[in-house]
Structure 1
Amino acid sequence: MSVKFLKSILFTTFILIALLFVNCEDNNSSETNETARVQLKLVDEPGDYEEVNVEIIDIQYQSNEDEGWQSFTPEGEFPINVDITELIAGNSLLLANEVVPVGILKQVRLVLSDNNTLKIEGEEELIPLDTPSAQQSGLKLNLDEELEAGFVYSFILDWDVQKSIVKAGNSGKYILKPVIKVNAEISSGSISAKVIEIVEEVETPIINQIVEVYSTDDVLVKDTLTDENGNFVVQGLEAGTYTLKITKEGYLDFTSTEITVTVGNVEVLENIILELE
């Protein structure tokens, strides 16, 4: 076999490999240009219940394409069982983290089972939560967000547990009617701090303390609880100016100075010290 013939074979092989590599790159580029990543995070606003246990059996989305409802692949597996009262003080549950086609993301919906329960302070047994069939078929949340290729969109599903539970007259039954607000992290910010008291010159965290966020018009916007270390994070705030208020029996009321929240940022404050009356 001549050297010239071997060179010809090697050259042809090199060209074929190069073309295959370019084709793969084009395909990968095409996928990148046509998809975005969507994350769904579940958080809770405090309520007067020890536990609110819900079971999610499907998470779906609907885009501007007439393809009907598509299911997200959950981070774990279905069903997702969660006590939503634990999703406070910066805790959240990542429900979905998935690549989807670009376009208008119109709605998402959580499909619940009828296996939902409630625990009231001072009572040992769990109370069944009656779940209307409309909620079982899917709680629809409007997004209407335009997804652009290559971006990551994180949506905070803020479940208001206090407004979501209705007592049915004198029957003793409780009905689950979820009230959930949706905020996009790309268009919101957060406030974080630690609440403490100083006892004999020692800093002590104040746990399970309600922290309220007010607008400049003195309207309550959101609230949350501190964790076992006294820390809290208020998520999903629109860009703007806010004040924090804390009221605790036996202590002086606390009102912060104005806090400016910007999109995509966490405003970390100095420790908040509550003083005894």
Structure 2
Amino acid sequence: MKYLKSVTLKSLMIATLVSVGLISCSEDDSSTNNGEGTANLTVRLTDAPGDYDAVLVDVQDVEIHVETEAEGELEGDDDGDGWVSVGDVQTGVYDLLELTGGVSQLLADTEVPAGYVSQMRLVLGSENSVVINGESKPLNTPSAQQSGLKLQINQEFVAGENYAFLLDFNVDESVVTTGNGSYNLKPVIRVSAQADAGMVVGKVTVPDDIEVNVQSLVVLTANDADITISAYTNDVGEFALHGVPAGEYTITITPQADLGLSVHTNTEVEVRPNETTDLGEIEL
């Protein structure tokens, strides 16, 4: 099982989502109604757990599908189909298993055309791979390379407002083994952008006589809805779960099996809108 690089709770806070509510505008405000203005968009990438040494994805672009009332072609829409690059994308090959325990990778912080955004798509290149038991194997991603992985947004971007999205990459569901022993990448991504989203943080501790780093799986499950959010702790036991809708949750912390530690369960975790729920130190 992969042990993560050390991060502090201060670094976890850097990845906190910011989501600003919409404001109403009059009909004669042309920068809002005809799509000629711009809105600020922030996109970050993080990872749900996966039991590999590394999972490397080659991010080439982030695009949005914009519908505006403005006449003529939308700036940046080269194919006339409504898709535009968000611009200033931090392209590169990222190890998803380093983006857990509350860490996220900034992909874009830029201005985009105002208007109704129906979808976002993550465009991947060909340099994708998975490392298992020290051996690197290629990850085939035909659909993502050709047209980009489409994610539902369905939100009006108002000129002058700020919008933040967290792309939570579920590695365990995204890496698929084929019959001939090769691996396909079929990305499963949870998009979080709720205005009322909160965050749950904490630190898992173990008895003093255990002298090795202990990595635990943290799973947050809604008590009355179909919502499950998970992450691994880092090498000092810290975790952060982002983009959590307000509500009541059960948290389950499962340490690595070879140490014989008990599973911790708390069925009364309350998440409030736009707040961080700090569970403090949790001793196994």
* TM-score bin (small chain): 0.7 to 0.9
Query: Match of 2:195, SS?
Result: helix
1:148: how far off? 2.7
Q: Are 2:102 and 1:102 aligned?
A: no
Within a 5 Å distance, the mapping from 1:214-225 to structure 2 comes to: 214-217=221-224, 221-225=228-232
Give the Cα separation in 1 of the matches to 2:194 and 2:53.
28
Call closer, same or farther: CA 1:204–1:197 in 2, change over 3 Å.
farther
1:63: how far off? 1.0
Give the counterpart letter for 2:266 in structure 1.
S
Residue 19 of structure 1: aligned partner:
none
1:135: how far off? 4.2
Identity of aligned residues (%): 38
Q: Are 2:41 and 1:38 aligned?
A: yes
Call closer, same or farther: CA 1:54–1:134 in 2, change over 3 Å.
closer
Q: Are 2:202 and 1:193 aligned?
A: yes
Contact 1:156 1:185 in 2 (8 A): no
Call closer, same or farther: CA 1:205–1:237 in 2, change over 3 Å.
farther
TM-score w.r.t. length of structure 2? 0.76
Q: Are 2:117 and 1:114 aligned?
A: no
Deviations 1:137-194 (A, max 9, x none): 211111011223332211111111111111111x111111111111105231110000
Residue 172 of structure 1: aligned partner:
181
1:103: how far off? 2.2
Give the counterpart letter for 2:62 in structure 1.
I
TM-score w.r.t. length of structure 1? 0.78
Contact 2:58 2:124 in 1 (8 A): yes
Q: Are 2:61 and 1:58 aligned?
A: yes
Aligned length: 239
1:263: how far off? 2.2
Give the counterpart letter for 1:191 in structure 2.
V
Residue 262 of structure 1: aligned partner:
272
Give the Cα separation in 1 of the matches to 2:113 and 2:144.
28
1:227: how far off? 0.7
Call closer, same or farther: CA 1:244–1:62 in 2, change over 3 Å.
same
Query: Match of 1:163, SS?
Result: helix
Residue 74 of structure 1: aligned partner:
88
Q: Are 2:242 and 1:235 aligned?
A: yes
Contact 1:38 1:96 in 2 (8 A): yes
Give the Cα separation in 2 of the matches to 1:174 and 1:88.
22
Give the Cα separation in 1 of the matches to 2:152 and 2:170.
16
Contact 2:61 2:89 in 1 (8 A): no
| 4+ runs deviating over 6 angstroms | 29-33
Q: Which has the higher contact order (CA 8 A, sep 6+)?
A: 2
Contact 1:197 1:204 in 2 (8 A): no
Give the Cα separation in 1 of the matches to 2:211 and 2:225.
29
Contact 2:37 2:114 in 1 (8 A): yes
1:34: how far off? 3.3
Give the Cα separation in 2 of the matches to 1:147 and 1:222.
26
1:126: how far off? 0.8
Question: Which range moved further: 103-112 or 245-254?
Answer: 245-254
1:257: how far off? 4.6
Give the Cα separation in 1 of the matches to 2:153 and 2:105.
19
User: Is the helix fraction higher in 1 or 2?
Assistant: 1
